[in-house]
Amino acid sequence: MPLISVITAIHNGLAFNELFYESLARYTVNPFELIIIDNDSEDGSAAYFESKGAVVIRNKQNYSYPYCQNQGIKKATGQFLAFLNNDIILAPHWDEILIGAAALHSADIISASGIENLGNKKQTQAIDRKWKRTKNPLMIFGFGRKNLLLMHRLMYGNWERFCARKFSNHQYAVVEGIVGNNVMMTRRGLNIVGLWDERMQVADFDLFMRTKKRAKETGDIKPCQIALGAFIHHFGKMTLKYAVKRKPFADQEHMIGLRDKWTELEVDELHPDNKTIRNR
């Protein structure tokens, strides 16, 4: 069984971190090592992950997403690298489905589907509206563990049954795209595409376009794919709201926007949903 290096950056959010780890430990089939990049959390999150046996890199400041992912890569030893947000709940057999879909379609970079992309525009819009109707009234009660679980239960009902239906309907089918809160990459993919661009907080979009450009120009890698049989719940931008004193990124002055790197023509040609990034 392949070893998966799970790389996750955190900045506080203990309740999110607990739910993330519990789903990771419960639903991951293959052996994994968990590498946490802690960006100066003050709520005990780093100690929590250490108590679970994770490798914790303790930064003294809050760094951007791509900077942290590259820190994790340096520590990773697995055949697969899974870049996962801390504000997600994983599905049963998520890793097995992603690895199976990647092998079947010769994909080196793959994501599970989620609220952000179900592979169908109408279905994606419908589930996004449902999530907003579910979470918005409850957000006034804060971001504690019980409230987060209530949101999740009201959204999906029986989580395992919901995920089982997704797999039953789609099996190992894929569509081109990326869901930035979860990205699994093979070592081969990493060697071809390279590290995350540390200048860009929207590094997932950049990764997709770099991979798509390489696929078109050299053909030695396929564009990023979304496995429709796997579904990962993402709480969304709540993590931007729960921190009372969210610290700015220590490397903020080095950051650039997507349009500082990619031209309008490149965005139109390379990204399947360029409206999503029109203003980035």
Run of H or E residues at 10: strand 4-10
Range of the domain at 165: 4-277
Q: What is the mean pLDDT of residues 136-143?
A: 92
Residues with Cβ < 8 Å from 215, sequence gap 6 or more?
221, 222, 223
How many domains would you assign to the chain?
1
d(CA 107, CA 185): 9
pLDDT of residue 241: 60
Q: What are the tokens at 108? A: 């080196």
**pLDDT of amino acid 259:** 87
pLDDT confidence tier of residue 243, bands split at 50, 70 and 90: low
Say what the pLDDT of residue 156 is.
Answer: 98
pLDDT at 160 over 60: yes
| pTM metric for this prediction | 0.94
Is the predicted pLDDT of residue 274 greater than 70, yes or no? no
pLDDT at 81: 98
The predicted pLDDT at position 237 comes to: 74
Question: pLDDT per residue over 219-230, tens digit each?
Answer: 999 999 999 999
pLDDT category of residue 273 using cuts at 50, 70 and 90: low
pLDDT(59) > 60: yes
Give the start-end residues of each E strand in 42-139: 55-59, 80-84, 88-89, 109-113
Count other Cβ atoms within 10 Å, centred on residue 197: 17
Q: Which amino acid is at 243?
A: A
pLDDT at 278: 33
Q: Residue 186 pLDDT more than 70?
A: yes
Residue 186's CATH number: 3.90.550.10
Provide mean pLDDT across the span 56-78. 96
pLDDT band at 185 (very low <50, low <70, confident <90, very high): very high
Work out the average pLDDT over 264-278.
Answer: 66
Work out whether strand 225-231 and strand 109-113 pair parallel, antiparallel, or are unpaired: parallel
* Band of pLDDT at residue 268, cut at 50, 70 and 90: confident
pLDDT value of position 279: 35
Mean pLDDT of the chain: 93
Report pLDDT digits (tens) over 27-46.
Answer: 999 999 999 999 999 999 99
Determine the pLDDT at residue 247.
77
On the question of pLDDT at 76 being above 60, the answer is yes
Averaged pLDDT for residues 96-121: 97
Mention every residue, 6+ apart, whose C-beta is less than 8 A from residue 266.
209, 213
